[in-house]
Each structure stands twice: as structure tokens, then as C-alpha cells.
Amino acid sequence: MIRAHCLICAGAGCISSGAHALKEALTAELKQRGLDNEIRIVETGCMGPCDLGPVMLVHPEGTFYQKVTALDVPKLVEEHFIKGRPYQPLLPKEAPTGAVVNTQRDFTFFAKQQKIVLENCGLIDPENIHEYIARDGYAALGKVLTSMKPEEVIAEIKASGLRGRGGAGFPTGVKWELTAKNPVKPHYVICNADEGDPGAFMNRAVLEGDPHKIIEGMAIGGYAMGANNGYIYIRAEYPLAVKRLQIAIQQAYELGLLGKNLFETGFDFDLELRIGAGAFVCGEETALMRSIEGRRGQPQPRPPFPAQRGLWGKPTNINNVETWATVPIIIRNGASWYGQFGTARTKGTKVFALAGKIRNTGLAEVPFGTTLRELIFDIGGGIPNGKKFKAVQTGGPSGGVIPAQYLDTPIEYETLQALGSIMGSGGMVVVDEDTCMVDFARFFLEFCCDESCGKCPPCRVGTRQLLNILERICSGEAELEDLDRLEELALMVKDASLCGLGQTAPNPVLTTLKYFRDEYLAHIVEKRCPARVCRDLLQFTIIEEKCVGCSVCARVCPVETIFKVGGQKKYYIVQDKCIHCGACLEACKFQAINKTSEGEGFIPPPRPAVLELPPGRKPTAVVTS
């Protein structure tokens, strides 16, 4: 008899930190000790706390282990499986208190979550349809086909209050009805699995960890909207998700859960994958459909909306991965059950990807209405290294930053919008005091500028010009009028762009201008970067008392502008050739390099009378100035 299950997270994050090697080592160790017929190893989808990977969960106890490497395996097996006590060194610690966490249930990261969409992620083997079925999988499809009319399905989804998780939060049931009622035939359903926002990986987790839930949701939607064909549009950069989907689709066909005459009701449903090349704009629904048709992925004006004229000109319904994955759960448990989670305006839960300067990087699912503070500080564990929270960017590159004074805002589509940001697909990038907000806005804008498809000038030209201004500000070459230009142009791009990409691209600029205007002013007026990030505005100097004369800084300096002080064991940076790369700072073991951004008032330490070449440098280097 199998007495224990060892669930190894095989999400993309844990795989890259070594989950496969862990699995091999564990398999070999269990076999060698004759435990292989007592203990079963299961590879699951993402468990959430990606930063702690490779992670492993052992049942029946529910013991959660972090950063498990192949080298840990012999001791872990000895302690946990032979002697029956948790292997202490690999138990996680609670972020602020440092308390050791014995079981998954006790870990605040998990305890404060409400896993609905992720109910199976990290619990079942995504490559085994039977494990999905064991968790009531495909029961909702069976129920719908055998006992509900299509209108009843739509009514149920409407009653649940489900809103689209792709960003805009449009009521799903209302959207379904538009397609369902369109007399033009055939109808199509599409799953948008493009997920192009940097820092977002919520959809990937569901695709990799519970692919059948998406398939089941789409089949239910197909039935409700009279569509017999569905497409999943997924980017080629998600190879593991593609593989798991392919396996899942094949297994569903083999068991007759896709294909002809499902549940002997005469309903046929076929599902295919379409692999995208990873352009951000192809996540926009009209561009996505063109890409499926084999054309260049460029957005088109709406209306007509997809429900009116979609794929190949036919009525089409596009939903996000998370939206589709929620559908079977609503059908299974009922709209009113679902309605108990969330707020009056927005029902249910949302998966967020926590990234940036946060202790528990990873995925967390919480009910709408949870505050930013609860998500970032309780579940996310707060900011590491004793740093201070500065802001959180929600909604990816098209979102905006939200500063500390709004941390108690409950998370909903409307509340985030009121602060100038958006929900987007659920990416959350946390930044601390070491982040320059101008540089941060520049980073996201650069992304949107690169990803602009070029069709409409406001986006193509406007984002480029915005970026130019931001680059000038970051390098200290901007003047005050640039700030007005920046704002005016940002609003123009927002108003005049054809699709959501351009319409939202200025959000990082507008929100940083609103909440961190002082940082812009410091760059422009004082030529100073308060967070000491923007390279052109930095100064590096050597603190004489701390310098031991080891010469490491001079050796790593790529422009050879660090010299030995004549007759002393000290070094000196000649400023005019310095490119502010920070190589000396990183190399110095004595904290003798000072990084400042003092602006025009900067006075370098007095220049020694004699400078010598450091050991090993060829005399070709000429001491200038």
C-alpha cells in the first residue's frame, strides 16, 4: 500500500531551479531503501511560492519543504519517511517572524489564500486525466449536457457575476449571450492564453497545472453558445504549457470527453491549439483572431466586436484562461456558492503573480476585496532586506503604480482604476526604495514601444516620443517644459490609439507623474536620481579611510580611470572618464566605494598631486585633466 505521496512541483519555475534532478534523486533513493512501493512521487503543477523552489509537499501530513535539492534527498528520506519527523532544515520560515512552518496549512502564504481556480494546481498530476476526474473533473460538462439548456447555462454564469479575467472585467455571461444569440453560423470559442505582460504567470500556472479545467470550461461554453469548435491561442514561449495542453487534449479525446457525441447527447466539440510567436499585441482579441487566421497580428477597430464578426467573420467568444477555468467550478457548485466570495461588484477570486521586491515571489489566489496590504505583506511576506515599500505596479506594462498611502485599497477593477491603474491580468510588481520611478516608467514604456504593432500613429510614434523624453530625463538632459510635453503626449496617446496597447501604454508614466512628481523634478532640475539608479546621474568616489589599496577597483574599471595615489596605498577615481558602470562598487570588498547622486553640487574629493598607474596597467593609459 502507498502510505505517502510526495508531490514535487513541476511548474516552470521549480523545473528551472532543479525539480527534475530532485525527482530523479528521490526516485533512486526510495528504490534503494526499498520504500518505492510505500511512497509515490507525483509531479504537479505550480504550488505558488516560486521563489522557494524546488518545493515539495508530502501527504498525508501536509509537510511543505522548500529549496529541496538532490543533495538533500538522503537525509530527507531518512528523517521524514523512515523516522517520521519533518526534516527541519528544509521547512520554510514565516517571513517577518522567522517561525518555522510545519505544514502547508500553517504557512501564512497558503493559509490566507482562497484557492478556487487553483484548487487542483499543485495537487494533481496535470498529465493524468484520471486525477482530474477524481477531483470531480468533467462532471460539470456532464451536468450541463445532460440536464441544462444552453440558456440555463448562460443564466447561471450571469447569476454568478463572473467577470472576464483578461483585464477589462467584462461580465462573462453577458458576452456569452451576445454570441449565443447571433443567428450567423458557425460560432467559435477561443481561449486567450497569450499572457504577454512581463512579470505575469498566472495563466501559465493553470495551463501547466490543471489544463483539463480549461478544456472543460471551453466545452461548456461551446455548448452554451452553440459552438462546436474551439481554439486555444498560446505563445510558443510556454513550451511546457503547450506540451501539457497537448497531452490533456489527447487524453480527453481518448476518453470521449472531446470530439463527437459528448455524453451521448449529440453535442460535438473539437478543440485545437494555435501557437503564437509571442507578440504582446497578439493578446488583443482582434489581433489574436487575425493571427489564428494566419494573417499578421494587428488589431482592428471595434465594433464590430468578436461576437458580431469574429474569427473568419463568424460570431466568436474570446475569454481568458482564468475565466474559462472558473466556468466548471461555477457550474459544479452553483452561482450562489460562487457569489459568496468577493465583493458586491466583483464576485469570486483572482490569481495574482507577485514579483519584484517581495519575499514570497509567486502566485496567490485571493477573493476580490482583499487589500493590497494583505496581499503584499501577509501573503507576499513584505519587502526583503529591511527595505521600505515604495509602490506596486498592477496590471503589467499597461498598468500604473500605486504608492504606499493606498495600500489599504481593496482590490477590485473599479478601485484600481480610480487610482489610475488597472487590474490587467493580475501581475503585481512590487518596488522598494531602491527603485527609481522615472526609470521604472521608462522600462515599461520601452516594452510597449517595442511591442507596438505600428498600425496606428498615436501608438507607433507617440510611445517612441514618450520614451525619448523619459530617456532625456533619466540622463539629466531634460528641461522643465519636457514634463508638460510628457503629460500632454501621454494623454494624447491614451485617447487616440486604436487598441488597448496604446490606450494603456502611458499609464505607468501618468501614475508616476501623479504620485512621484518629485522624482521627476529631482532629475530635471537638480540632475539628481534620488534612488541612485539612473546611471548618467551617478557619481562614484573612493572613501579614503576605507580604501586598503588592494587595487581590485582599478583592475575591474573598464575605462581605466581609477589610479593609484602617488606614494600611498590608496586609489582615486578620476571623474571625467568615469562611465558610472558601478563595476568598482561591486568588486570592492571593503565598502570603500561611495555611490551618490548629488547633482550639479557634486564636488569630487581633492585630486592627489601625483597619480600612478596601478600594477599591471600598461603605460599607454594617459592621465587626462
Continuous segment of H or E residues that includes residue 427:
strand 427-432
Instruction: Give the whole-angstrom CA distance, residue 212 versus residue 245.
Output: 8
Binding to ligand FMN, residues 401-440 (CB under 6 A) = 425
Q: Among positive and negative, which fits the CA dihedral 451, 455, 459, 463?
A: positive
Strands 389-394 and 400-403: antiparallel
Query: Which partner, ligand FMN, other proteins, none, binds residue 84 by CB below 5 to 8 Å per kind?
Result: other proteins
What distance in Å separates the CA atoms of residue 93 and residue 490, rounded to the nearest whole number? 44
Sheet containing 56-59: order of strands: 39-44, 4-9, 56-59, 63-65
Query: Which one of 49, 92, 137, 167 is in contact with ligand FMN (CB under 6 A)?
Result: 167
* 100 beta partners: 93
* Crossing angle (nearest 10°) for helices 480-496 and 517-525: 130
Q: Are 136 and 328 in contact (CB under 8 A)?
A: no
The least CB distance from residue 47 to ligand FMN, in Å, is 23
Is residue 184 at the binding interface for other proteins, with CB under 8 A as the rule? no
State yes or no: residue 168 binds ligand FMN (CB under 6 A).
yes
Segment interacting with other proteins, rule: CB under 8 A, options 136-144, 297-305, 322-330, 389-397:
136-144
Collect all residues with Cβ–Cβ distance below 8 Å to 614 and sequence separation of at least 6. 551, 554, 555, 562, 563, 564, 571
Residue 318 interacting with ligand FMN (CB under 6 A): yes
Cell of 33: 531503501
Residues 485, 492: contact at Cβ < 8 Å?
no
Q: Counting beta carbons within 10 angstroms of the beta carbon of residue 601, is it exposed (0 to 12), middle (13 to 18) or buried (19 or more)? A: exposed
Candidate residues 64, 107, 138, 368; the one interacting with other proteins per rule CB under 8 A: 138
220 binds other proteins (CB under 8 A): no
C-alpha cell at 489: 503626449
Contacts to ligand FMN from residues 283-312, by CB under 6 A: 283-285
Which partner, other proteins, ligand FMN, none, binds residue 283 by CB below 5 to 8 Å per kind?
Answer: ligand FMN
Name the residue nearer to ligand FMN (CB basis): 214 or 542: 214
Backbone torsions φ then ψ of 104, nearest 5 degrees: -55, -40
Contact range with ligand FMN by CB under 6 A, out of 95-103, 163-171, 180-188, 354-362: 163-171
Site string for ligand FMN, 493-522 (x = CB under 6 A): ------xxx---------------------
Binding flag, residue 348, ligand FMN (CB under 6 A): no
Task: Choose among ligand FMN, other proteins, none what residue 243 binds, the Cβ cut-off being 5 to 8 Å by kind.
Answer: none
The answer to whether 494 and 468 have CB atoms below 8 angstroms apart is no
- Residue holding cell 501547466? 208
Question: Which CB, 135 or 373, lies closer to other proteins?
Answer: 135
Cβ distance to ligand FMN smaller for residue 53 or 306 = 306
Cβ proximity to other proteins, 139 vs 159, nearer residue? 139
| # residues contacting ligand FMN (CB under 6 A) | 23
User: Of other proteins, ligand FMN, none, which one does residue 1 interact with (CB within 5 to 8 Å by kind)?
Assistant: other proteins
Q: Examine residue 4 and tell whether it contacts other proteins (CB under 8 A).
A: yes
Give Cα 271 to chain centroid, integer Å. 27
Q: How far apart are CA 320 and CA 9, in angstroms?
A: 24
Q: Give whichever of 196 and 362 is closer to ligand FMN, judged by the CB atom.
A: 196
Residues 6+ apart with CB under 8 A from 455: 298, 299, 498
Between 255 and 491, whose beta carbon lies closer to other proteins? 255
| Contact characters 260-279, other proteins, x per CB under 8 A | --xxx---------------
Strand partners, 259: 269
Strand order through the sheet with 611-612: 571-573, 562-565, 611-612
Question: Using CA atoms, how far apart are residues 557 and 289, in angstroms rounded to an integer?
Answer: 51
Question: Grid coordinates in use for 212?
Answer: 483539463
Is 161 an interacting residue with respect to ligand FMN (CB under 6 A)?
Answer: no
Should residue 156 be labelled a site residue for ligand FMN when binding is judged by CB under 6 A? no
- 166's contact among other proteins, ligand FMN, none, with CB below 5 to 8 A by partner kind, is ligand FMN
> Per-residue contact track with ligand FMN, 169 to 188, x per CB under 6 A?
-x------------------
The residues binding ligand FMN (CB under 6 A) are 164-168, 170, 192, 194-196, 280-281, 283-285, 318-320, 323, 425, 499-501
Which chain residues interact with other proteins by CB under 8 A?
A: 1-5, 7, 38, 59-62, 81-85, 123-124, 130-131, 133-136, 138-139, 142, 146, 255-257, 262-264
